[in-house]
């Protein structure tokens, strides 16, 4: 019997790191990009893991990367909606102020 050393699943570390970065940078637009890339890499890694589960470890890292990427995408989307509403309110206030001065 030979001891076969298992490798981490492809993209497992990258998906998890990008997922964490998407949460950390969720209040910036960078978090959305990191989250989307992390989610795509987690999907590719999961597909590779499911093809040959006896060759890889790190399924938990893939799941963590997927979950943190989804959370980061949601936080970034909420921040973008907040930013759009804030700019709309501020723009309306400046427009009404400008029209009252004219």
Crossing angle of the two packed helices 30-51 and 59-101, in degrees rounded to 10 = 160
pLDDT 10s digit of each residue in the chain, 102 long?
A: 456 788 889 999 999 999 999 999 988 789 999 999 999 999 999 999 999 889 999 899 999 999 999 999 999 999 999 999 998 888 887 777 777 777
pLDDT at 60: 93
For the chain, give every domain's residue range: 8-76
What pLDDT was estimated at residue 93?
79
**pLDDT, position 94:** 77
Contact of 93 with 43, CB cutoff 8 Å: no
Burial of 79 (0-12, 13-18, 19+ CB in 10 A): middle
pTM for the model? 0.84
């Amino acid at each position: 019997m030979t001891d076969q050393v298992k490798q981490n699943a492809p993209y497992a570390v990258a998906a998890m790191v990008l997922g964490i970065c998407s949460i950390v940078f969720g209040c910036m637009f960078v978090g959305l990009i990191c989250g989307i890339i992390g989610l795509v890499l987690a999907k590719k890694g999961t597909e590779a893991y499911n093809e040959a589960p006896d060759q890889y470890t790190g399924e938990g890292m893939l799941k963590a990367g997927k979950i943190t990427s989804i959370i980061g995408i949601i936080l970034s989307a909420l921040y973008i909606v907040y930013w759009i509403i804030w700019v709309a309110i501020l723009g309306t206030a400046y427009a009404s102020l400008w029209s009252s001065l004219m």
